[in-house]
């Protein structure tokens, strides 16, 4: 089963032959390097990957929550969020380049650092995190459907189960079924969906802002400055809060940062990938945050009369507008946006990761169905259990788990492997293979990830390290990369090319 996968002519000439007999426990068509004719994504497709990642209800809620809880002026929060987008752009260029070059997903790329068998370990971690996020995002999307139903249904006398009434559960089930139907159509149809969803959400958010701005008049601009003129935190604590906002936003994107190769492998070239990343991350994130800031401030002045805490869920804001047409339109659009991020960040990557666990038994489609089933249970428990810890803490915790995986992947490819992989050895169980290590496991890498993850999780949950919680992802990634380089550098430089034992 030899398969030569040529790269695009604009890329360096790289050998991507998987060998004459790739091992069946490591190979199927979904994991194999993509041939050039299947790499059709230009900059606009990559732009829409990020646009859909940014525009979800959870993304809006997180950004608005940071404006309210960070304790610093809202304009500094805005700057921190935009700066985090620029930093994420840099991070994903690093993880995207190898998959553009070799046409393989993250689950295969991880074999170079973790071993051909050991790569199942980080893939499983990433898959579990993705499933948790899938459930959370499905719940957030369902709140928009519930909003539309509640606009026409009586709300008295409803029984509640696990914190949700019958409208909530019907809405949640409908969104879950819709996502499975979209996934079943395949990657080409998903691409078309993303290309529609990204621009549509911006149009609705601009319309919502226009409605609020007309009602607020000249009060809106002062409201933005006054509501978020928070000075609870001063001095160096304010500086730490600024970078803490950055860290939390980076952690929010952590799942896609790790698995970005699952999308960049479809890119025509590195140049088109980088253009899509630039426009889709710092530029799109700045625009989305600007809209979120003004909508939240305007809603607080116009719809809440300055009472209570500003609303952070745009579905709730739309519900207060009192325009049934806008309510339904916004509900549909927010559902589209949140389904978009679920497909991008929490459906496709875990599908690849689960497929990698047992390629002979689990296909890409099978991995997606497992993700949907387990994620449905998790999302159903969101209100009753997971929501209680708070969205920023939830984001930081999942990011802390993934951070060392990023550090190890980048350090291995750019420092240890020196940007050169033996693709055939990624698909063989031959003990002489470069990535076989010890019976297919790189035990040093496993130890590095365990140590680094303990530190990054402690930064989130240990009271003595509370000041570092927003930095958990950054510290975990740096620690993972440094420790991995130290542990593997001597091994690689003293091991002849083409051998993997030792």
In terms of Cα–Cα distance, which of 207, 393, 179, 402 is closest to 295? 207
Instruction: List the one residue out of 381, 390, 407 whose CA is nearest residue 461.
Output: 390
In tens, the pLDDT along 224-250 reads 766 666 667 777 888 888 888 898 888
Mean pLDDT of 347-371: 81
The position carrying tokens 């209680």 is 388
Instruction: Report d(CA 252, CA 232) in Å as an integer.
Output: 25
Name the 3-class secondary structure at 440.
coil
Q: How confident is the model at residue 402 (pLDDT cuts 50, 70, 90)?
A: confident
Per-residue pLDDT tens digits for 246-278: 988 888 888 789 889 988 999 999 999 999 999
The Cα–Cα gap between 78 and 300 comes to: 18
Structure tokens at 177: 């079924």
CA–CA dist 269, 271 (Å, integer): 5
Q: Residues 6 or more apart from 312 whose CB is under 8 A from it?
A: 60, 61, 64, 65, 68, 296
Contact yes or no for 344/194 (Cβ under 8 A) = yes
Residue 231 maps to a domain: yes
407 inside domain: no
Domain residue limits at 204: 42-384
Task: State pLDDT tens for residues 149-184.
Answer: 877 776 666 778 878 888 889 999 999 998 888 777
Torsion of CA 110, 114, 115, 118, to 10 degrees: -100
In a domain, 37, yes or no: no
Question: Largest Cα–Cα distance in the chain?
Answer: 73
Query: Contact 427/20 with Cβ under 8 angstroms?
Result: no
Q: What is the DSSP letter of 18?
A: -
Q: So what's the pLDDT on residue 204?
A: 77
pLDDT of 96 strictly over 60: yes
Q: What's the token pair of residue 341?
A: 């991020």
Domain CATH code at residue 66 = 1.10.4160.10
**Contact (Cβ atoms closer than 8 angstroms) between residue 403 and residue 473:** yes
Nearest to 331 by CA among 208, 169, 170: 208
User: Which phi-psi region, left, alpha or beta, contains residue 19 (left: φ > 0; alpha: ψ -120 to 50)?
Assistant: left
pLDDT of residue 277: 95
Share of the chain above pLDDT 90, in %: 23
Q: What is the mean pLDDT of the chain?
A: 80
Q: What is the mean pLDDT of residues 353-363?
A: 79
Residue 459 · residue 240 · CB < 8 Å: no
Residue 497 confidence (pLDDT): 42
Q: Nearest-CA neighbor of 442 among 407, 408, 479?
A: 408
| 102-153 pLDDT per residue, tens | 999 888 999 999 999 998 888 788 888 888 888 888 888 888 788 778 777 7
Q: Would you place residue 9 in the very low, low, confident or very high pLDDT band (cuts 50, 70, 90)? A: very low
Q: How many Å apart are CA 414 and CA 410, to the nearest integer?
A: 6
Residue with tokens 């659009």: 333
For 12-57, the pLDDT digits (tens) are 444 566 766 788 888 888 888 988 888 888 998 898 888 877 877 7
Q: Give the total number of structural domains in the chain.
A: 1
Within-domain flag for 137: yes
User: Above pLDDT 70, what percent of the chain?
Assistant: 85
| Mean pLDDT confidence for 395-420 | 89
Answer yes or no: is 181 within a domain: yes
φ, ψ of residue 449 to 5 degrees: the values are -65, -40
Residue at 189 is within a domain? yes
What phi and psi values does residue 164 have, to the nearest 5 degrees? -130, 145
Task: List pLDDT tens digits, range 411-454.
Answer: 999 999 999 999 999 999 999 999 999 999 999 999 999 999 99
Confidence (pLDDT) at 490? 59
Q: Could you tell me if residue 453 is inside a domain?
A: no
pLDDT of residue 498: 41
Residue 301 lies in a domain: yes
- Which pLDDT does position 415 carry in this prediction? 93
Q: Note the Cα 116 to chain centre separation in Å.
A: 25
Q: Is residue 358's pLDDT more than 90? A: no
- 478: pLDDT strictly greater than 90: yes
Q: Which of 191-195, 259-263, 386-390 has the lowest mean pLDDT?
A: 386-390
pLDDT at 113: 93
Using 50, 70 and 90 to split pLDDT, how confident is the model at 321? low
């Amino acid at each position: 089963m030899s398969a030569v996968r040529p790269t695009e002519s604009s890329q360096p000439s790289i050998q991507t032959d998987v060998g004459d007999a790739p091992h069946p426990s490591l190979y199927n068509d979904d994991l194999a390097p993509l041939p050039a004719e299947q790499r059709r994504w230009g900059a606009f497709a990559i732009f829409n990957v990020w646009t859909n990642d940014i525009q979800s209800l959870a993304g809006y809620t997180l950004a608005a929550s940071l404006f309210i809880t960070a304790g610093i002026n809202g304009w500094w929060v805005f700057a921190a969020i935009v700066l985090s987008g620029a930093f994420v752009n840099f991070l994903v260029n690093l993880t995207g380049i190898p998959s553009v070059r070799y046409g393989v997903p993250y689950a295969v790329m991880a074999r170079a650092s973790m071993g051909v068998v050991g790569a199942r370990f980080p893939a499983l971690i990433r898959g579990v995190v993705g499933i948790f996020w899938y459930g959370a995002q499905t719940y957030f999307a369902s709140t928009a459907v519930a909003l539309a139903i509640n606009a026409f249904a009586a709300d008295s006398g409803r029984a509640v189960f696990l914190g949700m009434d019958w409208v909530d559960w019907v809405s949640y089930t409908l969104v879950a079924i819709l996502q499975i139907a979209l996934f079943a159509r395949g990657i080409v149809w998903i691409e078309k969906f993303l290309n529609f969803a990204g621009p549509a959400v911006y149009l609705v958010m601009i319309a919502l802002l226009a409605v609020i701005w007309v009602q607020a008049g000249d009060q809106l601009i002062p409201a933005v400055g006054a509501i978020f003129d928070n000075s609870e935190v001063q001095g160096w604590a304010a500086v730490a809060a600024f970078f803490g906002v950055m860290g939390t936003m980076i952690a929010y994107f952590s799942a896609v940062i790790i698995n970005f190769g699952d999308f960049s492998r479809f890119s025509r070239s590195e140049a088109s990938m980088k253009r899509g990343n630039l426009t889709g991350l710092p530029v799109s994130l700045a625009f989305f945050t600007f809209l979120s800031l003004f909508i939240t401030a305007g809603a607080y002045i116009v719809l809440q009369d300055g009472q209570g805490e500003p609303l952070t869920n745009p579905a709730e804001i739309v519900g207060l507008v009192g325009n049934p047409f806008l309510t339904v339109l916004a509900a549909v659009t927010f559902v589209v946006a949140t389904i978009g991020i679920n497909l991008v960040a929490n459906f496709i990557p875990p599908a690849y990761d689960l497929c990698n666990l047992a390629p002979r038994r689990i296909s890409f489609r099978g991995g997606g169905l497992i993700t949907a089933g387990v994620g449905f249970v998790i999302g159903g428990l969101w209100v009753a259990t997971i929501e209680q810890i708070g969205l920023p803490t939830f984001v930081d915790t999942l990011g802390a788990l993934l951070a060392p995986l990023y550090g190890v992947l980048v350090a291995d490819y750019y420092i240890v492997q020196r940007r050169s992989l033996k693709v055939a050895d990624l698909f063989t169980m031959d003990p002489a293979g470069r990535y076989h290590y010890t019976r297919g496991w790189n035990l040093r890498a496993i130890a590095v990830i365990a140590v680094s993850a303990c530190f990054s999780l402690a930064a989130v949950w240990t009271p003595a390290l509370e000041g570092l919680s927003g930095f958990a992802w950054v510290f975990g990634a740096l620690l993972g990369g440094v420790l991995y380089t130290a542990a593997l550098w001597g091994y690689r430089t003293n091991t002849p090319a083409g051998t993997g034992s030792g």
